A and B are shown apart, each in its own frame.
Chain A
Amino acid sequence: MSYDDLPALLTRLTGDEKHDWSALSTLDALWVLYDRVLREGDRFLLSKGHGPQAYYAVLAAKGLLPVELLAGWGSFDSPLGYHPDRVAAPGVEFSSGSLGHGLGVAVGVALAGRRVFCLVGDAELEEGSNWEAVHYAGRARLGSLTILAIDNHSSTHGWPGGIAARFELEGWTSATTGREHDALEHALTAGDGVRPHVAVVEVSR
């Protein structure tokens, strides 16, 4: 399936045919990640488990999650919840929902030598646990770790000076992009493989 099939998959999830799916802040980044960046043996941890519709739709489009499971998500018998559970849901690699847990686990995966991607939100970065991981990953030069930081400016107190600058100070490389797919692909793969890398994805709220 292609990017153009995602609206139909999202409609299966919500039953809403008229929705403007561009409002989903993670949709393009997840699509480009799964369509162009992830290779066999990589891991992806969705740390920001809130609003996983785009995630489920992309997993279904890529054949990692049976399309039939999309309808009825969040219901008692569905393996797909409002926050994903890796034990229940096919294709899901990390159970999340409570903010600030994915990065620490991704650091453990990177320490084991595996290439790993982790998606966080700008409001999620308010949780201090993220910064424990950011500091350490920079010092340990975890070059196999890439973060997708989706910045839809939902953090109440914001990040004066920007998100990327904070990572750079801690020894990360960074790239900032919008939702255009070639630019996203470039930003996601712009790391040097020596230092950890963050791709800050600017999307409107």
Chain B
Amino acid sequence: MRARFYELARAALDADPRVALVTAEIGTTAIGPHERHFNVGIREQLLIGVAAGLALEGYRPVAHSYAPFLVERPWEMLKLDLGHNALGAVLVSNGASYDAAPEGRTHQAPEDVALVAALPGWTIHVPGHPDELEHLFREALAGDDRVYIRMSEETNHARVDGGGFTVLRHGSASAPLVLAVGPTLAPVLEATAALDATVAYTATVRPFDRDALRAALPATDVVLVEPYQAGTSASEVSAALSDRPHRLLALGVPNAEFRRYGTPDEHRAAHGLDAAGISRSLEAFLPG
């Protein structure tokens, strides 16, 4: 997915004089030099400030770095330089959640989506496939708003058209709704293969499509599977169903200091986000 982004970023610089790219030593070489590609060095507060200044001048800035350094370190710049100043930018991160498992906690940011979602006016995409990234990135470039695109090394087997809220499989009238976000779709499909369930997918979590969730829910039980901090979109599900009795199980990366290295597969399994872990959670949550 990251390689696709670097191709797309390069092509956008070449094709659209409105696009400007700001990097901080990550992805800089892969995208290559261009008169509107500014590498500010290892200076992530400046990364966002420069993006805001370029937006003030009418450019469509794209800022790229590793998730902890793109979102967490300069978070106040997202809030003020962009949000409070009413300026737009497209922020594209790599290094999702536990992609950098052996690097340790400093290179892991499962909080990224919750942090961006805490700020008003952001659109947040979590593509599960490089083709979805391409569609969502192009759409973001055409706008002038604030967009965060969280890329991941994990991907699904195939793209889901559009990346919006899509029902992939219908269960019975009493079935639970299992909503897979981004790259969790592959294990969700495996875990629900033998289950009476309605399975839906989305690559866009802000704004959250509350109407689509209401329309897709057959009965009362919702299982939300997110590849970042557990519960990040739980408040959205609750708000969507505020007038309907419902039960919600929100799966994701636990909010805890994990202190393990190893591989992404080991982290996924430890967080219960592989097919076996999702199956166990479903079994415990769903009646009889």
* Docked-complex contact A104 and B57, CB < 8 angstroms: no
A37 located at the interface, meaning its Cβ lies under 8 Å from any Cβ of chain B in the complex? no
A87 located at the interface, meaning its Cβ lies under 8 Å from any Cβ of chain B in the complex? yes
* Docked-complex contact B38 and A133, CB < 8 angstroms: no
* Docked-complex contact B76 and A104, CB < 8 angstroms: no
Provide the residues of chain A in CB contact with B52, threshold 8 Å: 104-105, 108
Provide the residues of chain B in CB contact with A136, threshold 8 Å: 40-41, 43, 46
* Docked-complex contact A104 and B81, CB < 8 angstroms: yes
Given contacts A109-B57, A111-B53, A112-B59, contact A104 B84 (CB under 8 A): no
* Docked-complex contact A95 and B84, CB < 8 angstroms: yes
* Chain A 167-200 per-residue mask, 1 if CB under 8 angstroms from chain B, else 0: 0000000000000000000000000000000000
- Give the distance to chain B from A154, nearest Cβ to Cβ, in Å: 22
Q: Complex formed: what's the CA distance from A87 to B87 in Å?
A: 10
- Give the distance to chain B from A115, nearest Cβ to Cβ, in Å: 12
Given contacts A104-B49, A105-B49, A108-B49, contact A132 B43 (CB under 8 A): yes
* Chain B 66-102 per-residue mask, 1 if CB under 8 angstroms from chain A, else 0: 0000000000110011001110000000000000000
A106 located at the interface, meaning its Cβ lies under 8 Å from any Cβ of chain B in the complex? yes
* Docked-complex contact B54 and A85, CB < 8 angstroms: no
A110 located at the interface, meaning its Cβ lies under 8 Å from any Cβ of chain B in the complex? yes
With beta carbons under 8 angstroms apart, the residue of A101, A128, A132 that contacts B81 is A101
Given contacts A85-B84, A112-B59, contact A104 B38 (CB under 8 A): no
Provide the residues of chain B in CB contact with A100, threshold 8 Å: 45
Q: How many residues of A contact B (CB 8 A)?
A: 28
Provide the residues of chain A in CB contact with B81, threshold 8 Å: 101, 104-105
Residue from B20, B52, B58 with most neighbouring chain A CB atoms (10 Å): B52
Q: Complex formed: what's the CA distance from A60 to B51 in Å?
A: 30
Q: Complex formed: what's the CA distance from A133 to B80 in Å?
A: 16
A86 located at the interface, meaning its Cβ lies under 8 Å from any Cβ of chain B in the complex? yes
Provide the residues of chain A in CB contact with B43, threshold 8 Å: 132, 135-136
A103 located at the interface, meaning its Cβ lies under 8 Å from any Cβ of chain B in the complex? yes
* Chain A 85-102 per-residue mask, 1 if CB under 8 angstroms from chain B, else 0: 111000000110010110
Residues of A within 8 A of B (CB): 43, 85-87, 94-95, 98, 100-101, 103-114, 128-129, 132-133, 135-136, 140
Residues of B within 8 A of A (CB): 20, 22, 38, 40-41, 43, 45-46, 48-59, 61, 76-77, 80-81, 84-86
6 contacts between A and B (CB under 8 A): A98-B80, A101-B80, A104-B45, A107-B50, A129-B46, A136-B43
